[in-house]
Structure 1
Amino acid sequence: MILQPDFHSRYGPWAVIAGASEGIGQQYAHVLAERGFNLVTLARRLEPLEKDAELIRRRHRVEVKPCSVDLAADNLAELTAEACAGLEIGLLIYNACYSVIGEFLDIAETDHHKMLDVNCRAPVIMTRTLAPAMIERGRGGVILMSSMSGFQGTAMVANYAATKAWNINLAQGLWEEFRPHGVDVLACVAGATSTPGFEGNTPQDKRSKAFPMAPDLVAREGLKALGKRPLHITGRINRAVDVMGHLMTRRQRTRFFSNATRGIYGDN
C-alpha cells in the first residue's frame, strides 16, 4: 500500500539518501519507506546500512539498496551513478555532513578540507549526477539539509557554519532554476537534533540548552515542506529563534550564537 500517492507519483519510485546510517538520514529512510518508496541508502559504514535495510524491508515491503560510499571521494560522480544504475530516482536527500567543533586554528587542515568536500562538493556532484534525469521526466525533488548555524557566522563552528550557509544558497538557487522543469528543491534547516553525533559531541548536562528535536520530526517536516517553498526551518523553537535573530544586528547575532555555542562546547 502506498501512502500519499500524489507525493509518491511526484517523487518516486526510488529515493537516494546520502548520510542514511543514523539520525535524520535514517529517519528519512523510514518515513519514505512508510510511503512506499524504494531506497538507495548511502554512507561510509555499510554494516548499519545493511542492518537498517533488513528492518525496513520487513516492515514496509520495499526495496532497499545500501551502498558504502565515501562522500569525500574524488570519483563520487561515478560511485553515485553506479549505485543508482538502472533505477528511476525521483528524490535526492543530501543529509550527510562532517563537522569538527573547536577554535578554527585548532582544527586540523585535513578536517577543514573534509568539511568542504562532504558538506559542499558532494551535494553539487550528487545533484549534478541525478537531477538531469528528473528534469527530463519533468518531476522530482532534491532536499539539501542545512543548519541554523548557516544563518550567521559562529565561533567554534566557523567553517561548518559557512558550509551550511553555502547549502542554503545552493538550494535556493536550484529551486528557481529547476522549478520550471517540475523539479522541487528545498533547503531544510535543522537546529540541534537528538542524533548519535549530537549526543556524542555534547555533554549530557548541556544537551537541553540546545533544545534538540527528535530526528523523525525533522524528516517529516522536511518532506512536508518540499514543493511548497525554497527554505524551511524545522521546529517552532528554531523558527522563533530565527525571528529573534532578525531583530539583531549582524554583529549582535554573531556574538549571540557564538556565546551560546561556547557555553555548550567551550569547556570540551
Structure 2
Amino acid sequence: MTAAPAGRSRVGGAAGFAARYGPWALVAGASEGLGAAFARQLAERGLNLILVARRSEPLAELAGRLPTRAEPVAADLGTADGLRRVTEAARGREVGLVVANAAYAPIGRFADLDPEQTRRAVDLNCRAPLELAHHFLPPMLARRRGGLIIMSSLAGLQGAPPISVYAATKAFGTILAEGLWAELRGTGVDVLACVAGAVATPNLAGAKGRPAPGTRTPDQVAAAALRGLGHGPRVVPGLGMRLSAAVLSRLLPRRAAISVMARASADVTGPGPG
C-alpha cells in the first residue's frame, strides 16, 4: 500500500478535511458574504473558527449560529494593531487553515482618489495576506499539514479601470499564492489562489447597477475553493468565469482584455470591500 503524503489523512469527507486542516481555521473578512460562507462551510466540516472583521456585531451573530467553537475578533487587518490582535487571538491554538478574504476596493479614476484609499487597499489586500502567511505557515510546515487560501479576482488578470489599484492588489495575491503553492509542494501544506469573478455579496449589490453574467453565490465560491485546496495552485469558480479567465489571459490581446474589463466595471459606483 502506498503511504499517504505527510499530514494528509486517508479518511474521506469532513473528518478527513478536519484532520488535514484543523482543528482551527482563521477566516479574515468573515462578517458577511463570502467570508461568512467560508465560516459556515468550515464549521460544517468540524473546524473551530477565529472570525475576523472590523464590525463586531455581525461577527458575534455569526459565531452564535455555528455548530463548532467560534471566536469573533473585531480587528482591522489593514493596520499593524489589527494584525497584532489577530495573532494574539490565535496564540495557543493550532490554526491549520487561513482564509485571506478581507479586501478593500477603491473605485474611481486614480488621479481623483484619496491616497489614503489606495494605501489602505495595498495594506489590506497585499500586506495582510503576506503577514498572515509569515505568521501561520511556519507552524504548519513544522506539523507538515495545513493550508492557506488567498482570495483573488478576475480583475487581477489585467488592468481594470476604474478599479486599477484593486486589480493590481489582486494580481499580487494570485502570484503570491501560486508561488507559495510551488514552494510548499510535498510539505503537506497546501496553498491556493481562488480567482473569483462577480460574487453576489452585499458589497457587490451596493456597487453595481446589475449583476454580471455568471455571477456566483458566496456559497458556490467558498465550496469551489475548499474543493480545490490541495489540487493545484488556482481555482476559478464557475464554468462561465473559467471561460472568461481563459479569454482574458490567453486569447485576447492585452489592449482588448483591458477594454473588456473596463466595460465590465463601468457601472461600479462606489468604494467598498471586494
Give the unaligned 5+ runs of structure 2: 1-11
Q: Give deviations 1:9-55, integer Å, cap 9, x for gaps.
A: 11011000000001111000000111111000000111100011101
**Cα distance in 1 for residues equivalent to 2:221 and 2:30:** 14
Which residue of structure 2 lines up, in the alignment, with residue 244 of structure 1? 247
What does 1:131-146 correspond to in 2, within 5 Å? 131-146=137-152
- Contact 1:3/1:36 (<8 A) preserved: no
Give the unaligned 5+ runs of structure 1: none
Which residue of structure 2 lines up, in the alignment, with residue 184 of structure 1? 190
- Are 2:264 and 1:260 equivalent residues in the alignment? yes
Shift of 1:161: 0.2
- Contact 1:76/1:122 (<8 A) preserved: no
Which residue of structure 1 lines up, in the alignment, with residue 215 of structure 2? 212
Q: 1:155 aligns with which of 161, 164, 168?
A: 161
Q: How many equivalent pairs are there?
A: 259
What does 1:11-160 correspond to in 2, within 5 Å? 11-56=21-66, 60=67, 62-160=68-166
**Cα distance in 2 for residues equivalent to 1:194 and 1:267:** 16
Q: Which runs of 4+ in 1 moved over 4 A?
A: none
TM-score using structure 1 length: 0.93
Shift of 1:179: 2.0
**Cα distance in 1 for residues equivalent to 2:256 and 2:269:** 19
Letter in 1 for 2:147: G
**Cα distance in 1 for residues equivalent to 2:239 and 2:43:** 26
**Cα distance in 2 for residues equivalent to 1:98 and 1:258:** 19
**Cα distance in 1 for residues equivalent to 2:13 and 2:229:** 16
Name the one with the larger helix percent: 1
Identical-residue share of aligned pairs (%) = 41
Which residue of structure 1 lines up, in the alignment, with residue 227 of structure 2? 224
- Contact 1:80/1:129 (<8 A) preserved: no
TM-score using structure 2 length: 0.91
Q: Give deviations 1:174-222, integer Å, cap 9, x for gaps.
A: 111222321000000111111011011112xx22x34321100000000
- Are 2:15 and 1:9 equivalent residues in the alignment? no
The alignment's C-alpha RMSD in Å is: 1.6
Distance 1:34 1:3, change over 3 A: farther
Which residue of structure 1 lines up, in the alignment, with residue 178 of structure 2? 172
**Cα distance in 2 for residues equivalent to 1:115 and 1:210:** 26
Secondary structure at the aligned position of 1:4 is classed as: helix
Letter in 2 for 1:212: T
